[in-house]
Amino acid sequence: MAYYRHLATEWEEMSNKAVRVLLIEDNPADTRLIREILAEDKGSPFKLECADRLATGLACLAQGKIDVVLLDLGLPDSQGISTLVKVQAEALTVPVVVLTCLDDEALAVEAVQEGAQDYMVKGHVDSNLLARSIRYAIERKRAEEKARQLETLKELDQVRSQLLANVSHELRTPLTTIKGYSTMLLDYDRRLGHDEKQEYLSAIDKATDRMAELVDHLLDMSRLEAGLLKLDKVPTNITALLQTTIAEARLRTPGHKIVLNLPKAVLKLNGDGRRIRQVVDNLIENATKYSKPASTVTIEARSQDSELVISVADRGMGIPRENSGKVFDRMFNLEHRLTQEPGGLGLGLALCKALVEAHGGRIWVNSELGKGSVFNFALPREAIAEGEANSEEG
């Protein structure tokens, strides 16, 4: 929706205001000429800004108040096609018309292939031609942008339908447990032993937990998307947080050997303990899910420069090299979830990444196929007063 609003506002702005032109040109004679030509134009008014160096031009672009750039490719501080590339890097959505000398037409054509909207040969410029080229450049760029935004919307739509498919599947699995066991308990009450009934009731209980967790993940993800997820950052004792987390993880997955390596000094930082714990829980859950029972999962924490690094290492199947950069990407996980055992929404790592980044941290994975994976995340250690940290997580 935000895209549509954005487009509509741009349209309004464009049709009401003067066209803001940035001329980046080092030859004063050419600058004067362009200024005169634009002043002559009888159509909608142009507002011209001039820069005689690329650096000055880029600084002007950075303020974001330019509708179109007239660009000489040969400037004191930049020559050739790289001049255009630098302008595009600063302002990808601003159209560019390249100004060229007569003997440079090949370069101008190359510039158009590189994404410039048009080119004009100096000395062959008149008022009509220039005004038309500027307006066409703006319209063409707008059409390109719209196509690009539509593409983004389509992608977003794909993410949504894939997510919906996964959600419905993931909710049906615990629902099947609940429906199945409860109807069985009702129908065969007299024929089931006490222990067996307890077993089914406990499975129903676990299934409802799983559903609640799925709903929480979904809500977190949509809050993050809408920018509504607020961190509650307080001085937090990470040593104690990890000890509690690991103690509970051991109870949940008694099959695995879960090892915790901590430095002697107590680790503290300013952060949202509940969210940090969520990240650690998720990484441990993945580690146990993707490795054989009885294998070892090692959690380590250490201070490193201005960061606190926490890593979770498993001896599982590992991640193919070509995918190790993509595992935190939401769409990748959603798509692969369909063909990949075991269960999950495919949101876990994307959520971890978002939570770590909301803390100003980073997350990455080192993995070797067949040998295992190490998921790491680093959080900045902002200065906190000694002895101020909570003994428990937020």
Partner 1 sequence: MKKGSRATILIIEDEDDIRTFASRVLELEGYRVLQASDGDEGLRLARGNQVALVLLDLRLPGRDGWAVLSQMKSDPELSSISVVVFTASAATQQRSQALDRGAADYLVKPLSANSLRESIARILR
Q: How far is the CB of 177 from partner 1 (least distance, A)?
A: 4
The CB-of-187 to partner 1 minimum distance in angstroms stands at 5
Closer to partner 1 at the Cβ: 112 or 175? 175
Q: Locate tokens 């100004």: which residue? A: 99
- Tell how strand 19-24 and strand 46-51 pair up: parallel
Which residue lies nearer to partner 1 by CB, 48 or 175? 175
**159/203 with CB nearer partner 1:** 203
Q: Which residues of 258-282 are buried (b: 16+ CB within 10 A; e: fewer)?
A: bebebeeeebbbbbbbebbbbbbbb
CB 266 within 8 A of CB 239: yes
Nearest distance, CB of residue 178 and partner 1, angstroms:
7
Least gap, CB of 182 to partner 1 (angstroms): 9
Nearer to partner 1, 80 or 180 (CB): 180
3-state SS of 287-322 is HHHCCCCCCEEEEEEEEECCEEEEEEECCCCCCCHH
Q: Which spans in the chain are helix H?
A: 2-16, 28-40, 54-62, 81-90, 105-113, 127-187, 194-225, 238-252, 273-289, 330-337, 348-358
What sign has the CA pseudo-torsion 62, 66, 67, 70?
negative
DSSP string for residues in 212-234: HHHHHHHHHHHHHHTT------E
The per-residue DSSP string of 184-217 comes to HHHHTGGGS-HHHHHHHHHHHHHHHHHHHHHHHH
* Nearest distance, CB of residue 342 and partner 1, angstroms: 8
Minimum Å gap between C-beta 292 and partner 1 is 14
Cα(341)–Cα(156) distance, integer angstroms: 25
- Written as six digits, the tokens of 315 are 């001896």
Cβ of residue 239: shortest distance to partner 1, in angstroms? Answer: 36
Query: Amino acid letter at 128?
Result: N
Nearest distance from residue 168's CB to partner 1, in Å? 7
Cα 363-367-372 angle, rounded to 5 deg: 120
Cβ distance to partner 1 smaller for residue 175 or 231:
175
Least separation in angstroms between residue 252's CB and partner 1 is: 15
Q: How far apart are CA 45 and CA 186, in angstroms?
A: 80
Q: Give the residue with the Cβ less far from partner 1, 177 or 245.
A: 177
CB of 181 or CB of 328, closer to partner 1: 181
Residues 343, 173: contact at Cβ < 8 Å?
Answer: yes
Q: Which residues bind partner 1 (CB under 8 A)?
A: 168-169, 172-173, 175-181, 183-184, 186-188, 191, 203, 207, 338, 341-343
17 vs 172, which CB is nearer to partner 1?
172
Helix, strand or coil, per DSSP, at residue 323: helix
Residue number, 166 or 270, with CB nearest to partner 1: 166
Q: How many residues in the chain?
A: 394
Checking 346-350 for CB contacts under 8 A at 24+ apart, the result is: 346/163, 346/166, 347/163, 347/217, 347/218, 347/221, 348/217, 348/282, 348/285, 348/286, 349/282, 349/286, 350/221
User: Which residue, 183 or 306, is less far from partner 1 as judged by CB?
Assistant: 183
Kindly state the smallest distance separating residue 188's Cβ from partner 1, in Å. 5
